[in-house]
Chain A
Amino acid sequence: MISLTSPVRTWAHGWPAGLKLAGLCAATLVLFFIESVPAHLAIFGAVLGVYALPGRVFLATGMRRLRLLWPFILVVMLWHLWEGSVAQGVAICLRLLSAVALANLVTMTTRLTDMIAVIRWLAAPLRRVGLETRALELAVALTIRMTPVLAEKGELLSASWRARARRRAGWRILLPFTLLALDDADHVAEALKARGGLGN
């Protein structure tokens, strides 16, 4: 199941969302200016240390989410092996891991409503010139909520393919999956309308 919520409550849940996001911004920026491999190793180690603080369950959940990155790591490492710049490749991969781990950390410990409040605050100048930002706020909520739902639907679709075929479905379920997602979107839009929609 892909969802970025924390299995346990941590002390970071109580911090203001704006502060966490600003910290994440700053940390990511700093990560991009560091080139040395030992420094990146130390940083990644520290990030893992932070993950370990709330306990084993939290650490395990966090690591499972980082595992999604392996294809990117693979591509980057292969490229740099071929280029002969292994140290640079390792630095890039560690930077990627640390940045995503930190971002996940913020997402896992921040309630969506608080995240949306920050977006709303950031988008305040847009409202001043007359743009409605409510759609943007809801879009963020829906993306996070619907990711696990769609992932499950995709699995069902590929299971029903495999149930009647000898090979895996692969790209061939892409079109039916798209149609399914569009149909779902229709239903969600209707349910949203039933509770006031965007028009308030």
Chain B
Amino acid sequence: MSGVSFRIAGKEILRGVSLDVDVARLGVVGRNGSGKSTLARLVAGLVAPSEGRVRVNGKELAADRRAALSEVGILFQNPDHQIIFPSVLEEVAFGLGQQGMGRREAEAEAREVLARFGKAHWEEAAVAGLSQGQKHLVCLMAVVAMEPKLLILDEPYAGLDIPTRRQLMRYLGRYEGALLHISHDPEDLAGYDHVIWLEMGGVAREGAAEAVLAAYRDEMERLGARDDISDLAG
């Protein structure tokens, strides 16, 4: 990622961000509105930068959507925005069909993915009847089925209780590809290789996870004692 800026209606969300990372577990922290989700969308190639270039494994995914399907997968905050089909098997098979598999082949493969997660019995389950945590897991399985080299997670634990969070964390920990995990909570990123700290659309700090997370935590505690919630965005 070099010299990347991103603007929506003239408002600068990211400004001049340059990053070059090659690790298996990458974390991104920052406060609400710091540009974390925009960074995720740029890396996933869902939006193109206003300036600069974004490349994943040498490919510009915003232009090359076909390559994007095998390069990156993305999990959004709200599973109801992500799940297209009313039953679990159909949802998991959808992405495989998009990658060019025939219907039967996609369904067989989807069954295999469900079995690998120990969820073979979810096959016929109706999505509307699942709990929030279960919907998250369906999204995860649907993306993992496509075997992207990089999996992007945008606050995947938002609104989940501690046991559900821990269980999802365990499923994620097993993922063989690389992870780019966005969170405002440093606890989620413990044990990661590298962390990027975003602040107001720029990189405040990046480096080994432990040091960055410690500094981030201190700063967040310091800010927590103040009252910058009063400040309106210019």
Contacts and interface: CB of A to CB of B under 8 A. Distances in A.
Interface of A: 1, 3, 5, 9, 111-113, 117, 138, 141-142, 144-145, 148-149, 184, 187-188, 190-197, 199-200
A192 to B, nearest CB: 7
Contact of B86 (A144, A187, A190, A196): A144
B84 A142 contact: yes
A61 to B, nearest CB: 11
Which DSSP category, helix, strand, loop or mixed, fits chain B's interface?
helix
A113 B65 contact: no
A191 B124 contact: no
Contact of B126 (A5, A138, A190, A195): A5
A193 B86 contact: no
Contacts of A197: 65
Given A144-B86, A145-B86, A196-B95, A9 B46 contact: no
Interface residues of B, number: 35
A196 B65 contact: yes
A3 B128 contact: yes
B84 A199 contact: no
Contact of A148 (B46, B74, B99, B128): B128
22 contacts: A1-B128, A3-B126, A3-B129, A5-B86, A5-B87, A5-B128, A111-B87, A113-B85, A113-B103, A117-B103, A138-B84, A141-B85, A144-B86, A145-B86, A149-B128, A192-B84, A193-B46, A193-B65, A194-B44, A195-B98, A195-B143, A197-B65
A153 to B, nearest CB: 9
